[in-house]
Structure formats: structure tokens, C-alpha cells
Structure 1
Amino acid sequence: MNRDDHLLRAVRQVTAAASARFTYLAESIARALEPSATQLQELDRAYNATGEYLIECAEFDGQVVQVHAQGSRQMGTIVRPMDTQREGFDIDLVVRLANTAFSRYGGPEGAALLLDRLFTALNRYAERHGLGIERWERCVTLIYAGGMRADFAPVIDDPLYALPHGEHHGRIPDRDRRNFISTNPKGYCLGFDSAARVAPVFRLSKALTANFADARKADLVPLPEATEVFARLLSRFVQLVKVHRNMSFAELKGGGDLAPTSVFLTSLFAKAYAILAPQPHDGPLDLFFDIVELVPSLFEREILHPGQQHWKLMNPFAQSDNLASSMNTPARQHAFTQWHTKFVSDLEGLMGAIEGNQGLDAVINSVDRAFGHRAAQAVLQQNAQRRDGSRALQRAGFVVAGAMPIVTSARAHTYFGGPAT
């Protein structure tokens, strides 16, 4: 399927009211399942302290130049882990070493030596501070108080300026700990940011913006401005897909081993968003639905022999880095296909409940099926807070929108000012 084929997709009609409600639900769900501002500060404080220790520790002799967050923390897509019994969040970190580190770790045993020294240094830190520690193929995990888990992965600077954001390119030990392979976590985040900056074109944006203004008046925990909501729409979409994945696989035996990886899903959604966001949609609901339907067509499937495929989704910011490599087992591929079918079905149910004005109970049941009990409870709580805020404002003499707002239709309009084409 090429880019022009996406213009021929069936148009899905969604009212401004339904799309505004969906956006409101997405905000409520994401808020409940992402770290609070206080928790984010605690995450940053914890890993910064560990990073300062690594920069100074004797094992690396000054070759560690920075320890920084990568992945979901940087892209604003972090959500609670799949294990619903655990309260702490997971964070991925890069232990960045200067290019001169290749003089010490570039030989046949260098990758294993680098990981051994990282484990030795972090193990001493864990013992000193009463933390848990786990050793993996390519990283070391520290387990902090409160259940936070931080994966520290060593990356040696190796700029490749021919690649997009190649100034941030580096090398990381491979899973056999014998060689170094291409990686670019900072470049990947910058690429995600570029996709997120694509302005969505919404025909009913005037009505959506008016709806948000009314909803903000009635909310005890105010919604952000519509401009802020739409500016981070891609991050919210990725959070929703990760929450749905987590809920879908959490109850399966061995579900964690079958679930599609976050980098695979995030890459697909960023790619789909960059394609579809510039195309006119009524609002976020039908845009999200179109993205979910499109993602299975955005990676290559090579038929090896009947019943077996090799999936490829190449990282544009690193050499020969297949972001779908972890998906190349028949079990994982089958699980992805089944999960995607369920996701579409769950979204159809949620869309029907919202668009059909079936009432709050029907919406809550659809949210529960798609995104889990915690998400459903968050929507109920937020709805109750809005009702309380609405009553307070009405007593003060203001006219406000109802708890589940209804808006009138507006002429076709893009979000950023001009009429829709």
C-alpha cells in the first residue's frame, strides 16, 4: 500500500460531540495511567542520582559522559506496566560513553566486558542504597523503592552523519554480548517529536475547541486548553494503544512474552499518524480509528514458507536496526493479529456507545473492556468531579455544559484557522 492509497480509505462520519467525548475520555484515561508530576520528579531524581554516581565511578574512568532517559519518558508515552499488581513505573536509560571508549571495549570481548563493568558498578550502588538489581542481555535493571524499575543500557558514541539525527548515533552490545550494533535512542525520540508536530486537520475543530472551553469551566481538575491537547495527540494515542495492549495480554498465561513490544507499536503509530493527521478528519476519534486500522500495513512481511513470515520495520535513525525483530516468531505474529482484531472491535464498541448516546454506563463498560478497570474508574471519578463543578458554577450563576458535553455542529474548518479543503 502506498501513500496515495490512504487517501482512498472509507470516510467515517463522526459528530463533533462524539469526538470531543472521546478526547475527554482519552485525557482521563491517560492521566490515571501515567505518572503524576510528583512521580515524574521522583523518577528523574532517582535516575539522576544514579547517573551522577556512574559518571564518577572508577570502573569507567571518566568515559561515561551522560546518563539520560530514552523512550517513553522522553516521548510522553509512559504508562503503568502490564503487571497490574505493581504500582511503580518502568523507565529506560542510556549510559552514554565517549567514542574513546572503543579503545577499551572495541575488541572481541569488549561488549561483555562493558556490561560486566556496568553490573559491577550498579551492584555496588544497589547494595549501598538497599535497591534490587537484575542483569539482562543488554542492560542492567535497578529496582527502586516504590517499585520503579530503571533499565540502564550502555551506548558508546559513534556518530553517523549520513543518517537522520546521526550526530546522536551510537553502538550498543548485541544480545550475544560479542559485538556492538547500531542504535540511536535520542535520534529516535527526535523523530517521534517530528511526527508529533504534524498538525491534525479537523473539520469540526471549531466545535471541538468550544466544547473544551465549556468542559474546562465545569471541571474541578481542569482540562488543558484544546491547543495543548491536540499538540500532544500522538503521545496520547500511543498511551491508549499501550494500555489496551497491557490489558489484553496481562491476563493471558505467558502474555508478557507474546505482547507486541512498545517500540514496535510506537513506531507504527508515529508512522501512521504522520500519514493520516494531515488528511481531514472530523476529530480525534475517527483519526485514531483510522490509525489503528492502518498500522498492520506499515511494515514489511516476507513469506519464508507457508505459515512463517519475517517482519521488518527498519529504524531510519540506526543502521540495520529492525524494530520488528522481536516479533519474528509465529506465536507473537499470531498474537499481534488477534490483538489487533480485538482492538478494532473494542474501538467499534466504544465509538458506538459514544456516538449513539447510549449513556454513561454503556461508555464505562466499553472503556472497561478496552482499557481496563483502572481506566473505567478514572472516567467515573472525573465525570463525578465535573458534575460537582457544574453544580457549583450553576449555583454561582454561570451556564455550563453537562457532564458529557453536547456541542452543535460547525462549518468545515481546519484546526489552525483556514477552511477545510
Structure 2
Amino acid sequence: MMTQSYRKEVEEILDILGGNLDISESQYNAAVRSYQSVGDWLANKDSPLYPYNPKILPQGSFMLGTMTKPIHEEDDIDIDLVCKIEGKPDHWTQKDLKDAVGDRLKQHGLYEKMLKDKEGGRRCWTLMYSEDSKFHMDILPSLADSNFNLMLTKNFGVDNHLLAIRITDKESVFYTLMSNPSFWYKSNPFGYAKWFFHRATISKSKAILLSESVSPVRPFQKRKLPLQRVVQLLKRHRDMMFASDDFNSENKPISIIITTLASRAYDKSDNLVDAYTHVVSQMRNFIETRFNPKTEKYEKWVSNPINPEENFADKWIEEPQKEEYFYMWLDKLEEDIQSIRFGEGKGLYTLNESLAKQFGDNPVQLSFAAYGEKNRMRREAGLRKMAAGTGILGATGKPLPNHNFEGI
């Protein structure tokens, strides 16, 4: 069992580390300004899309507040967006909608140059921003379902199983054939966001309004809920493990599975150390095994919480390496968590070394330096004390004298 003082110490370090893994407020605000500008261009009165009230909305980790910086500074941050329209000409197929969004982007001289692929990707149009911005945007054309606004305004519950948007996908057999949206793939990233924040909320005093989770513009969140920090730590651990040339990075564990399993395993703890260690110990228990009558085989199943018939792990049966990598990562994660659970008494240097291997040397060193600076300021304010007879640092006990050297 961890003592309260050790748990508090590690919690501070992990929370600082999560902040160092997060994108900066300036990066966040730059991304918001950029996608708002794209939305304005698509919705301009001169735009062919104008009658259908196009809006750009964030989705994925940008909306959930679980983004992490790339391991390599030269790599881009991936911003996932939805271009939602309300209504369409009766004859429009998925291809027509995809082309309409792409054509409008190409009418803007700058956006035309920024397009990664002039034909578009499988589902999205990708805008590559300058090297100074360090991000690119994947814009998914979509058609709002009739229940879209109802889904946004209802509190969390069964109504989140309502349809949200119909999306474009070149691999759909109906991509160029069906104008009836009921034959298009469906998605509900906004319902998922409401579910995530429902799982992440600890108490009413710390609750994030669920309606904010799907707002086009949310302010940068400096303080994160424990579940948000847990997901950031898990994703960074994944990225570090699969950065090696020993692995095929295309098959590393995907974020939606990590986020879903972590959210299901989260025990509502308001202590980041307890939340992280509990999630790591319980994640694999939420991977189901189901019999598929179509293939007559048992398959691993990670269900979409707002569409239980969708399996986020459906690619595992087609590409076994994805499943193999996921369980390799879980094994390593469970092994590495022991350095936190049983690190008391071994010194901060040992913890520093262990965390650096798991999350990267630079963010960990920055985190320990920031933690050391906080302790120096506490000592100078007389708040850093040592309990008599135990030698444990904390907020109660005998005040520690100031010293004139740097350290933790």
C-alpha cells in the first residue's frame, strides 16, 4: 500500500507530466482559429454549401481534451474535425458531398495549396499547415441526422444511441451509388464525447457540462480531470513503446480502443495515481470475447459505448498483429505500473529513471524540474515540512530550512 504522502508526491509529478505531454494553449488556440476560418469559408454566402448551413466541429482527442504531443518535435499534431451540413440535394451521393467540400476548399487559393491530396483521402480532406503551426487538419464531410440537435440537447442516457451524422467513405460500396443517407456509414463522435465526460465526471462540483463537450469552441482546459490525464499517459506510453523500429507502427493500439477501455475501467477516483493504477490493472477485463456466426469464430470485442453493435477491435481478426501488439502493450503497461505502486522508499531518482523510459526523457525531466521548483517555493514559504520521527515530506510537521542549492 502506498502511503498518503507518497501518493500525493507521485500524483503531483504525474499531473505535471500530463501537462507537459499536452499541446500548449497557444497551439490549441491557433488550431481553433484555423478551423473557424475554414468553417467561415465553407459557410460563406458565395459557397455552394451555404444553403445547408455547414459547420466545422472538433471530434476525437481534440474534443475530449486528451491530445498528446508527438514524440518527435518535427512531427505534426493531428486535428480531427467534422464538416457537418444540414440537408442536401436529393441526388447527392457520398461522393457528391465529399467533392462539394473539396471543391469549395480548392476555390480558396491558400487552402488549395495546403491540401495533402487533391483527390482527398478515404474519408477526409487533409489541410497541411505550415511548419511553424505544427499541425494538420483532417476534415470529414458529413450529413447531420434528423435527431442531431436532439442528441446534443438531451442529458446523457439512452438518447445518445440516436444517430448523429452520416459520413463519406470511399470504401463504401454505396459511395457513388446511393443518394439515400440511410445507406451511408453512420458515426456519433459527439455522443461519444458526452459518454466520455459522463464517465470522467467525479462530482457536481468538478463536472464539465456535457453540452460543452460538443461545443464548436471550448476554451483551453489547463486543469484536466483524472480520466483525461490517464488517457494522455496511456497514449504516450503507447507511442513510446511503438516508436521502435522493432514494431510496425501502423498496427500499434489505436486511441479509440485505449480511451474506451480506460473510461470503462475508471473508478471515479479523484486521485490521479489511484485512477491510473486502477485503470491499468482493469483495462483488459473490459475486452470481451464474442462468437461471430458469420465467420463461425470467436472474436475479441471492444464495443462502441453509444453503438454496442460496433466493434472498435474489428480489424484484429483481419490483421492479427494488431491484437498481438495490443496485448504486448498491456503486458508492458502492467509491468511498468509496478515502478509507481512499489517505488516508495527508492528515491525520486529511481522514479525519474523509470518514468523517463515509459514517457520520454525530455517531458519527464521537465516535470521533475517543475516539481523541484514547487518544493523550493514551498520551503521558502515555510509550507514544506517534515513529520517528526518519520522523515516523510508533507504539509504537516516540522518546517524544513531553506537551502541555497537546486534539487528535489
TM (norm. structure 1) is 0.74
Match of 1:112 in 2: 95
C-alpha spacing 1:320/1:173, structure 2 compared with 1 (3 Å): farther
SS at match of 1:191: helix
Q: Does 1:193 align with 2:197?
A: yes
C-alpha spacing 1:184/1:251, structure 2 compared with 1 (3 Å): same
Give the counterpart letter for 2:237 in structure 1. H
Give the counterpart letter for 2:134 in structure 1. G
Match of 1:140 in 2: 125
Q: Which of 349, 354, 364 pairs up with 2:339?
A: 349
Give the counterpart letter for 1:111 in structure 2. Q
Q: Which runs of 5+ in 2 are unaligned?
A: 152-157, 175-183, 205-221, 387-391, 398-408
Partners in 2 of 1:17 and 1:89 — Cα distance? 36
Larger deviation: 169-178 or 364-373? 169-178
SS at match of 1:116: helix
1:61 is displaced (CA, Å) by: 4.3
Partners in 1 of 2:333 and 2:396 — Cα distance? 30
C-alpha spacing 1:254/1:358, structure 2 compared with 1 (3 Å): closer
Could you report, residue by residue, the CA deviation over 1:332-374 in whole angstroms, capped at 9, with x for unpaired residues? 0000000110011111123322xx2222211111111111123
C-alpha spacing 1:102/1:248, structure 2 compared with 1 (3 Å): farther
Match of 2:159 in 1: 164
Partners in 2 of 1:155 and 1:319 — Cα distance? 22
C-alpha spacing 1:40/1:171, structure 2 compared with 1 (3 Å): same
Larger RCO, structures 1/2 (Cα 8 Å, 6+ apart): 1
Q: Which of 34, 37, 52 pairs up with 2:40?
A: 52
Match of 1:155 in 2: 142
SS at match of 1:72: helix
Match of 2:273 in 1: 285
Partners in 2 of 1:67 and 1:265 — Cα distance? 26
1:388 is displaced (CA, Å) by: 4.1
Could you report, residue by residue, the CA deviation over 1:257-309 in whole angstroms, capped at 9, with x for unpaired residues? 11111111111111111xx237xx9x432332221121112132236799x85
Match of 1:21 in 2: 9
Partners in 2 of 1:49 and 1:401 — Cα distance? 52
1:190 is displaced (CA, Å) by: 0.8
RMSD: 3.1
Conserved in 2, the CA contact under 8 Å of 1:304 and 1:310?
Answer: yes
C-alpha spacing 1:331/1:389, structure 2 compared with 1 (3 Å): same
1:312 is displaced (CA, Å) by: 2.3
Q: Which of 295, 299, 303 pairs up with 1:314?
A: 303
1:133 is displaced (CA, Å) by: 2.1
Q: Does 1:336 align with 2:321?
A: no
Q: Share of identical aligned residues, percent?
A: 22
1:128 is displaced (CA, Å) by: 5.0
Match of 1:400 in 2: 384
1:97 is displaced (CA, Å) by: 1.0
Match of 1:415 in 2: none
Could you report, residue by residue, the CA deviation over 1:118-152 in whole angstroms, capped at 9, with x for unpaired residues? 23333444645753524321111111122211110
C-alpha spacing 1:287/1:85, structure 2 compared with 1 (3 Å): closer
Conserved in 2, the CA contact under 8 Å of 1:63 and 1:101?
Answer: yes
Partners in 1 of 2:287 and 2:230 — Cα distance? 19
Could you report, residue by residue, the CA deviation over 1:48-98 in whole angstroms, capped at 9, with x for unpaired residues? 1011111226342432431111121221111113x5243542211110011
Partners in 2 of 1:136 and 1:128 — Cα distance? 16
Partners in 2 of 1:169 and 1:20 — Cα distance? 41
Partners in 1 of 2:396 and 2:59 — Cα distance? 42
Partners in 2 of 1:339 and 1:319 — Cα distance? 25
1:401 is displaced (CA, Å) by: 4.7
C-alpha spacing 1:123/1:322, structure 2 compared with 1 (3 Å): farther
Larger deviation: 324-333 or 258-267? 324-333
Give the counterpart letter for 2:47 in structure 1. A
Partners in 1 of 2:114 and 2:37 — Cα distance? 13
C-alpha spacing 1:365/1:126, structure 2 compared with 1 (3 Å): farther
Give the counterpart letter for 1:344 in structure 2. E
1:256 is displaced (CA, Å) by: 2.6
Match of 1:75 in 2: 64
Match of 1:176 in 2: 171
Conserved in 2, the CA contact under 8 Å of 1:140 and 1:153?
Answer: yes
Partners in 2 of 1:254 and 1:126 — Cα distance? 40
Give the counterpart letter for 1:337 in structure 2. Y
Q: Which runs of 5+ in 1 are unaligned?
A: 1-12, 201-223, 410-421
Partners in 2 of 1:234 and 1:175 — Cα distance? 35
1:407 is displaced (CA, Å) by: 6.0
Partners in 2 of 1:196 and 1:181 — Cα distance? 28
Match of 2:252 in 1: 259
Match of 2:230 in 1: 237
Q: Does 1:121 align with 2:104?
A: yes
